[in-house]
Each structure stands twice: as structure tokens, then as C-alpha cells.
Amino acid sequence: MRYAIFSDIHSNLEALEAVLEAYQKEGIDKYLCIGDVVGYGADPQTCIDKVNSVAMITVAGNHDWAVVDLFPPDNFNPLPKEAIFWTKKHLPENGKAFLRALKLIYVIENFVLVHSSLDNPQNFNYLTNVCDCAASFELLKSNVCFIGHTHVPGIFIQDKQGNSYYENQDYIEIEPQNKYIINVGSVGQPRDSNPAAVYCIYDTDKKQVQIKRIDYDVQTARKKIIEAGLPRFLGDRLILRK
């Protein structure tokens, strides 16, 4: 089975369309979304509709839940918080109903999807280093967990001796004796010095994970954010490199 696994679209329609077009060339069997369909960008409902049309499951992200009052907006910095209120104002009820129905964790085959962490997923904690992952590795009963949330792709590995380490790579073969927490990066707002949209493919037959990039019309996405009245920085950030 070949799974398309993607996260953190953040209402960026141009990035999402580019990723879905790229997936069409990959022989994908099933699509899975790891949350934050909305937030930051100018096309929340259209992105919800596109994700809902292809993904067999979408788990909840912090922005998704915040828009429908399931996660406190006060947990966000001022600009993301402003985008949450903008999205809440502009999103129709059917879009809100979609977000309201999203669950925090989903288990499929022998792997798990969660937006942030397996421990207290409702708090949407960030896994940015090996120490952050300790509790999630402890709770992980299968050997692969896919996450998003940080907008930075990468792979945390725990070997059979319990040693954990981080790999910044875009391809890995899953070894049955290890556990893996794989961050699939962000479709709509990467934050690792590369503005190209990020997406992931998991081949469960070959036990292979690939993280890929694709360019998209970032200038149009930026312009739409600014013209929608969202904070200009949220558009400018799409083209910024560290």
C-alpha cells in the first residue's frame, strides 16, 4: 500500500494543489492528512473541500481545533491568533463542522497519525528534539508514528536498545526492531529555509518513507493573504529564507 501523508496546509490552496498534482504521479492508494488544514492562509474552505475529497482520514491540528473553540486561541502568538479569528469569521458552517469532527489520533495498519505528540495530544506540544520524543516513543505500540506541527520535516529514531537520535534526511527504510517518529513537514508553510511545499509517501510493502518537495505559485498565495486583510507577515513568511 502506498500512502500519501501530508500536513499543515494552512489554507494555502496553491501549495495544496501542487502537492495533490504531484501525488497523482506517485501511484498513491490512500491519502492521509495530519492536520492544520486551516490557519494563516486565505482559502480555508476550498482547502477543506479538497482535503475532504481525497483523504480517507484527517486528524486535528491546533489551528483546526482553535477555529471551532476546541483549543484556546490564547495559546497562540498575536499573528496566528488574528488568523484564527479571521478564519472563524470567513469559514462557513459546513467547514466548521468538518473541523469539529476531527479526532486527535488515528491508527491504521501498523502506524499512527497525530498532529503533535502521542502524550497529551490535546495540548499540541512540539517535538523538536530527542528529549521531547521520549514520552511519545514510550506510548508508541507500533513502530511508526507520523506527525506534523513544527513545519520542519525530519525523523526521530529509537533503536531496540532504547537509544534515540534524529535524522535530517528525506528517505528511510523502516527496520522492524526500531521505532520511528516521522515529521512530514508542511504543505503550506515550510519553516526550514526552503519555501517549497513538503509531502510524504509511505510504502508499507517496501517499508520505505520518502519526503519530497515541490515548488508552487508562492507569489499568488502571498498576494491572496495580503488582499484578504490577513497580517502581511503571514504572506511574506511564505517567501522568507532563514
Residue range 63-76, pLDDT digits in tens: 999 999 999 999 99
Q: How is domain 2-239 classified at the architecture level of CATH?
A: 4-Layer Sandwich (3.60)
**What span, in angstroms and rounded, lies between the C-alpha atoms of 2 and 205?**
8
Evaluate whether 170 touches 205 at the Cβ level (below 8 Å): no
Average pLDDT over residues 104-124: 96
DSSP symbol at 101: T
Residue range 145-157, pLDDT digits in tens: 999 999 999 999 9
| Strand bridging mode 2-6 / 197-203 | antiparallel
pTM of the model: 0.97
What single-letter amino acid sits at 202? Y
Task: Name residue 157's beta-bridge partners.
Answer: 165, 180
For the chain, the domains span: 2-239
242 pLDDT tier (thresholds 50, 70, 90)? very low
Task: Name residue 57's beta-bridge partners.
Answer: 32
Q: In this structure, what are the phi and psi dihedrals at residue 159, rounded to the nearest 5 degrees?
A: -85, 180
> Measured between alpha carbons, how far is residue 129 from residues 136, 164, 181, 199 in Å?
12, 10, 11, 21
Three cell numbers, residue 149: 506541527
Q: Is the pLDDT of residue 240 over 90?
A: no
Residue range 73-106, pLDDT digits in tens: 999 999 999 999 999 999 999 999 999 999 999 9
**What span, in angstroms and rounded, lies between the C-alpha atoms of 28 and 8?**
19
Q: In this structure, what are the phi and psi dihedrals at residue 126, rounded to the nearest 5 degrees?
A: -95, 135
Average pLDDT over residues 1-29: 98
- Residue pointed to by grid coordinates 528517505: 171
Evaluate whether 229 touches 89 at the Cβ level (below 8 Å): no
